[in-house]
Amino acid sequence: MLVRSSRREFLASAATVAAATAMAVEPGRVLAYAGTYSAPVGAEGAPGRGQGIYLFEMNLATGALVERAVFPNPDNPSCLALNTSGTRLYAANETATYKGGPSGSVSAYEIERPGGRLKLINTVASEGAGPCHLSLHQSGKWLFVANYHGGTSAVLPIGANGELRAASDVQRHDGVIGPGRAASAPPGSFAWSGHDRSHSHMILPDPSGRFVLAADLGLDRILIWKFDAAAGKLIPNDPPSMAVAPGDGPRHFAFHPNGRVLYSVQEEGSTLVTFDYDAATGHLKAKQTVSSLPPGFAGTNYTSEVAISPDARFVYTANRLHDTIAWFSIAADGTLRFVGEAPTGGDYPRFFTFDPYGRFVYSCNQRADAIVSFRVNRKTGALIHTGQYTPVGTPSFLAFLVER
């Protein structure tokens, strides 16, 4: 009876999300900010052809992106985060040095309304080299940053005017480095990207804001902290982490809207792991592992992003080198079934995302210097290429803002 009840609740939560999406009011103007690599990125395979942060306006009928402005940033603003009110934007500047120190940086911008132009507020150290991901706490008072090359995760306080302050906490990722070959890699794979030391690749609070999770690719673990929202401190949970298969390299993860399931994508193993998540304790329990690739695939591939459709019916993940976005249906218990895939229309899809209303998906094809759009078939989950390419040098991220 307990299992049946859990499944009914899971379906009910998904139905609630779907209904909310269906009843969403007609949007106002939709803006999009694109993060880029604007300097050489070495192992990422691109010289850094972006100019900084790009501002686009979205055509709601066709999905086309029209460039409105570029805000120069030479320091690889590769990941972006918007606050809930749409008044501030934060950028992780993925560099190895800031003001002569061994750290990247994070910049805060004011968003001028209407129009969406950016005005720099300030920049502070990220407390580790190569900040590649950031996220905001639900209170709006704290920003979390994952420093890939530094192997650290940091908490940055946010002031009343949106300005960033020096870190209130820095956690160094310590542990045993995983093997150089992924346990779950496809036959013939030579995928290797980060099993030389710890690499903090993503950091995100859980839906309640009581816990913070970070994926460490080199340690093959998802780290879990309790979060002290008064002091801005990360306190190791018990247990303090959850392991994935040796060498698989957890990269990014996404919570189901019901807050009870987490999906993790592994960069070198090309897998999706479904975890049950206990919101009361912060515990993860693996229940399923599936390949991000179609049956019979052989060779080298690197996954990049994972996302859940706004109606919570499908999970999507991107494959680099294979250059596809695959989608999986979500069963009543949260497990996944491979449904299909679509070519990304360009090389090395580093990131993809839905528009605010779930009508389109946009793929940032890093090595192809373009963002490609797809119309979403909400019934089947299929992605249909619109035929539109938006030129952007080495794009790495896209964040949407609705102006009403």
Average confidence score pLDDT of the chain = 93
**Angstrom distance (rounded) from CA 214 to CA 166:** 20
Q: What is the pLDDT of residue 42?
A: 57
Nearest Cα to Cα of residue 349 among 376, 374, 385, 325: 325
CATH superfamily of 2-403: YVTN repeat-like/Quinoprotein amine dehydrogenase (2.130.10.10)
Q: Per the structure block, which two tokens stand in for 332?
A: 């009543």
Q: Are 244 and 221 in contact (CB under 8 A)?
A: yes
Task: List the pLDDT tens digit at each of the 404 positions of the chain.
Answer: 333 445 555 555 555 555 444 434 556 799 999 999 999 875 565 679 999 999 999 999 999 999 999 999 999 999 999 999 999 999 999 999 999 999 999 999 999 999 999 999 999 999 999 999 999 999 999 999 999 999 999 999 999 999 999 999 999 999 999 999 999 999 999 999 999 999 999 999 999 999 999 999 999 999 999 999 999 999 999 999 999 999 999 999 999 999 999 999 999 999 999 999 999 999 999 999 999 999 999 999 999 999 999 999 999 999 999 999 999 999 999 999 999 999 999 999 999 999 999 999 999 999 999 999 999 999 999 999 999 999 999 999 999 999 98
φ/ψ region of 23 (left if φ > 0, alpha if ψ in -120 to 50, else beta) reads alpha
Question: What is the per-residue burial (b if ≥16 Cβ within 10 Å, else e) of 176-212?
Answer: ebbeebbbbbbeebebbbbbeebbbbbbbbbbeebbb
Helix (H) or strand (E) holding 54: strand 52-58
Please state the domain extents for the chain: 2-403
pLDDT tens for each residue of 336-386: 999 999 999 999 999 999 999 999 999 999 999 999 999 999 999 999 999
**Angstrom distance (rounded) from CA 21 to CA 391:** 30
Question: What pairing do the DSSP bridges indicate for beta strands 131-136 and 118-125?
Answer: unpaired
pLDDT tens for each residue of 171-198: 999 999 999 999 999 999 999 999 999 9
φ/ψ region of 114 (left if φ > 0, alpha if ψ in -120 to 50, else beta) reads beta
3-state secondary structure of 112: coil
**Neighbouring residues of 354: CB distance < 8 A, sequence distance ≥ 6:** 307, 309, 310, 360, 361, 376
Q: Are 268 and 182 in contact (CB under 8 A)?
A: yes
> What DSSP state is assigned to residue 49?
-
Q: What is the pLDDT of residue 402?
A: 97
Q: What is the pLDDT of residue 4?
A: 40
